[in-house]
Structures are given as C-alpha cells and as structure tokens.
Amino acid sequence: MRLKAIAAAVLVAGLGVGVAIAAEDGTHDARSALMKKVGGAAGAMAAIAKGEKPYDAAVVKASLTTISETAKVFPDQFKPGTEKGDKAASPKIWEDPADFKARADKLSADADKLLAQLPADAAGVGAAMKTLGANCGACHEKFRIKTE
Ligand code: HEC
C-alpha cells in the first residue's frame, strides 16, 4: 500500500515535469500543467484525509513541497501580453496582477507553514486541506473561468 502510494506520487511528479517541458511559457498548456501538478498533490493529500490511502508522511511532505514550489512560479506564467487565447484564465489576472500574485504567495506560505509543522495523521491532513483549499477556491472564483 505504502509503496504503491509512493510509486503513484513519483509517477504523477514525472508526468508533471514532462508536460511542463513540452509547453511553452505563458500558454494555457503551461499554466494547466502547473495547476495539474497542484491538483495532483492536493488529490494525494485528500485521499489520505478521506482514509482512502493510509497516512504517509513522505507523501504529505512531497505534496506540500509541490504545492509550495508550484505556487511560487505560477504567476510568472501570466506576464503582460500573454492574455490572449486562454479561455480558462480570466482577464482579471492582468487587470489586478498584484492580487493574483498575493493569492499565489499566500498558498505557498500556507504550504510552507504546514511543512514546518507536518500534519501527523489523517485528521491533521484533513485540517491542512481546509487551510489550503480555501486558497484554491478563492483564487478560482475570482481568476479562473470554468470551461467545462
Ligand atoms: C493564484 C490563484 C490560484 C490559486 C491559489 C490556485 N489556483 Fe488553480 N487555477 C488558477 C487559474 C488561473 C487556473 C486556470 C489556468 C489556465 O488554464 O490558464 C487554474 C486551474 C486549475 C486546475 C485546472 C487545470 C487544468 O487545466 O486541467 C486545477 C485542477 C486547479 N487549478 C487546482 C488547484 C488547487 C487544488 C489549488 C489549491 C491547492 C489551486 N488550484 C490554487 C488559479 C489558482
């Protein structure tokens, strides 16, 4: 079980890197690849919180690290002049880039805080997901356009 979870985490990480290399900066594909990495990491933690997977400190640590590092570089994908052709990214990102960046920074900072005091069991991971999830939802509501 434990090995399976690690293998899955490694696989997800590997796929993320492959997609990121294939996509050009500032495109929907590049942005989408980064957010899929964040989504994969959050999914791995949610599975532990829900009891679908056993608690595994290594998976929690890897997931939080992925979220922290990805949130730090995500706003770089929204430079001025790259607003065209991405139906999922709201024009509001380019109207208020400071707020967008502040929200990404907040997610990264929250993940860093959790890394410094790693959730020690499934209930702790559940509480961590609430903290992190508030960031996801708030930013999506303001800056993401649902395309499906
Ligand atoms: C700073 C704002 C921001 C934060 C914080 C944020 N997101 Fe996103 N997210 C976006 C934007 C913008 C998009 C659309 C990107 C695009 O496709 O151009 C997106 C898209 C996504 C997608 C769809 C990717 C795809 O193309 O299939 C997923 C999944 C996702 N986010 C998960 C998360 C999760 C989970 C969190 C929290 C742990 C999170 N996001 C936090 C802004 C944010």
Q: What does the pLDDT read at residue 6?
A: 59
Residues 22-50, mean pLDDT to the nearest whole number: 94
Distance 11 CA to ligand 1 centre (A): 20
Q: For the chain, first and last CA: distance in Å?
A: 34
Q: Could you tell me which residues come within 8 angstroms of residue 47 by beta carbon, excluding any fewer than 6 positions away? A: 53
Find tokens 């434990």 and name the residue.
2
Q: Which residue has the higher pLDDT, 24 or 108?
A: 108
The pocket around ligand 1, CB under 6 angstroms, is made up of 28, 31-32, 35-36, 38-39, 42, 67, 86, 88-89, 100, 103-104, 107, 132, 135-136, 139-140, 143-144
For residue range 68-106, list pLDDT tens digits in order: 999 999 999 999 999 988 999 999 999 999 999 999 999
Q: What does the pLDDT read at residue 20?
A: 46
Q: Which residue has the higher pLDDT, 25 or 131?
A: 131
* Nearest ligand 1 atom to alpha carbon 107: 5
* Nearest ligand 1 atom to alpha carbon 89: 18
The answer to whether the CB of 95 falls within 8 A of the CB of 44 is: no
Distance 39 CA to ligand 1 centre (A): 8
55 vs 107: CA distance, rounded Å: 22
For residue range 4-33, list pLDDT tens digits in order: 665 666 555 555 555 445 678 899 999 999
Handedness of CA 138, 50, 147, 31 (dihedral sign): positive
27 vs 89: CA distance, rounded Å: 10
Find tokens 């791995």 and name the residue.
44
The answer to whether the CB of 61 falls within 8 A of the CB of 12 is: no
